[in-house]
Amino acid sequence: MDHIDAVRTPASWVVVGLDNGGTCNNATVLDATGQFLVDRLVENPSRVQDGPESAIESLADAFTAILELTSTPLSLVRAVGLDTPGPASSTGVISSKGSTNFSQVSWHGFDIRGALEDRIGLPVVYANDANAAALYAHHRHFGPTATEKSSVAAIVGTGLGGGVVEGGKVVSGTAGMAGELGHVQIPLHGVLKEDQPVPVCNCGFEGDVESIASLTGIANNLLPYWLTRFPDHPLAAEPIARAAKLLRGYGEKQDPLALAVFGQQARAIGKLFTIAANFTDPAAYFLGGGVVEADPRFRQWFLNTVRENTQLRREQQEAATFALVPDLDMAGARGAAVAALDTVPA
Ligand SMILES: [Zn+2]
């Protein structure tokens, strides 16, 4: 169990964390002393493709079910933390353009936080999923000293999510768009081959982190190039989206094409962390995503490559650590719960 804050004494109240994903919700309970009452993934279908009304009912079901599972009376719940994939405002209004998960028109501009708050009659605190995972990694890593520390997290998935934590709190920004680390443009020297086209991101930027360090970046940019260098590779026979998903398995077997692609991803994240070092000079650099679940040897090689490509000053090297985001499948719900806990007066 994780110790979040040693100062809070009586476990006389709790907060609930709800992580809303494309197919499932995941729920957890965190008590006032910083103990999680759930040590595993507890999921129900999220029904986001059925539109907001069904999705809010599914979140309410997840809330009720997790209280039942942990034998927690409703009267003990002080707040609920909710995280979803972005883009959304800092108060949980889904982008007016929709998003991958919230593609139905009824989702566009929908206030998911407000709707859940109305439905369950308790204060709901919102975070985007990457920010929630960053917050959990931060509190898990630093424990009782979390409120004195800063960190940056990069989470490689379909896109590249991230979060910036300062003094134990997520930096969310004026419009809720702080910590969108995937769309930070990085110097490409030392990342790309000389004859390699400059990668383009879905956001329209050239050479941002997500255009390289994401599944989308592999499918759209890196793999098409590297397959021209390895034309006889078995993945050349696969549709590109499937080939991109299969690539990690090849990386774990030390396949040269896969290592070339993942090496470029790790160097891109190193460039991002170098920018972070000069921006907020964090105490910890966290790396998350599929690579966390990979074979330990491959995972360590990836983390080492990120570290070798993060240019820190000597003083920073002595003060900062590199680590993986733990419990990634539960990190969203747990981070949302931590965010909720922070809003309840001690
Ligand atoms: Zn971008």
What is the CA(246)–ligand 1 centre distance, in A? 23
Condensed to tens digits (0 to 9), the pLDDT of residues 205-236 reads 999 999 999 999 999 999 999 999 999 999 99
CA distance 154 to 157: 10
For residue 190, what are its two tokens? 């030392």
Q: What is the pLDDT of residue 250?
A: 97
Condensed to tens digits (0 to 9), the pLDDT of residues 18-52 reads 999 989 999 999 999 899 999 999 999 999 999 99
CA distance 232 to 235: 8
pLDDT at 100 over 90: no
What is the CA(185)–ligand 1 centre distance, in A? 8
pLDDT classification of 5: cutoffs 50, 70, 90: very low
**β-pairing, 321-324 with 24-31?**
unpaired
pLDDT at 108 over 70: yes
Q: How high does pLDDT run on average in the chain?
A: 93
Q: Per-residue b/e over 12-25, b at no fewer than 16 CB within 10 Å?
A: ebbbbbbbbbeebb
Average pLDDT score over residue span 7-19: 78
Q: Which amino acid is at 250?
A: Y
Torsion of CA 266, 254, 157, 246, to 10 degrees: 150
Condensed to tens digits (0 to 9), the pLDDT of residues 126-160 reads 999 999 999 999 999 999 999 999 999 999 998 99
Burial of 3 (0-12, 13-18, 19+ CB in 10 A): middle
Which residue in the block uniquely carries the two structure tokens 């240019």?
A: 311
pLDDT above 90 covers a percentage of the chain that reads 84
Q: Say which residue, 283 or 90, is predicted with more confidence.
A: 283
What is the CA(219)–ligand 1 centre distance, in A? 15
What is the CA(154)–ligand 1 centre distance, in A? 14
pLDDT classification of 1: cutoffs 50, 70, 90: very low
CA distance 138 to 169: 9
pLDDT at 174 over 90: no
Q: Say which residue, 87 or 341, is predicted with more confidence.
A: 341
What is the CA(250)–ligand 1 centre distance, in A? 26
Please give, one letter per residue, the 3-state secondary structure of the chain. Answer: CCCCCCCCCCCCCEEEEEEECCCEEEEEEEECCCCECCCCCCEEECCHHHCHHHHHHHHHHHHHHHHHHCCCCHHHEEEEEEEECCCECCCCEECCCCCCCCCCHHHCCCEHHHHHHHHHCCCEEEEEHHHHHHHHHHHHHHHHHHHHCEEEEEEECCCEEEEEEECCEECCCCCCCCCCHHHCECCCCCCCCCCCCCCECCCCCECECCCCCCHHHHHHHHHHHHHHHCCCCHHHHCCHHHHHHHHHHHHHCCCHHHHHHHHHHHHHHHHHHHHHHHHCCCCEEEEEEHHHHCCHHHHHHHHHHHHHCCCCCHHHHHHCEEEECCCHHHHHHHHHHHHHHHHCCC
Q: For 87-91, 122-126, 246-250, which range has the lowest pLDDT when averaged over its residues?
A: 87-91
Return the closest-CA partner of residue 286 out of 200, 179, 128.
179
Q: What is the pLDDT of residue 11?
A: 67
pLDDT above 70 covers a percentage of the chain that reads 97
What is the CA(3)–ligand 1 centre distance, in A? 36
pLDDT at 8 over 80: no
What is the CA(211)–ligand 1 centre distance, in A? 6
What is the CA(265)–ligand 1 centre distance, in A? 14
What is the CA(89)–ligand 1 centre distance, in A? 17
What is the CA(341)–ligand 1 centre distance, in A? 32
CA distance 217 to 91: 29
Average pLDDT score over residue span 153-176: 92
CA distance 280 to 259: 30
Average pLDDT score over residue span 258-280: 98
**β-pairing, 284-289 with 150-156?**
parallel
Condensed to tens digits (0 to 9), the pLDDT of residues 61-81 reads 999 999 999 999 999 999 999
Q: What is the pLDDT of residue 7?
A: 42
Q: What is the pLDDT of residue 293?
A: 83
Condensed to tens digits (0 to 9), the pLDDT of residues 187-199 reads 999 999 999 999 9
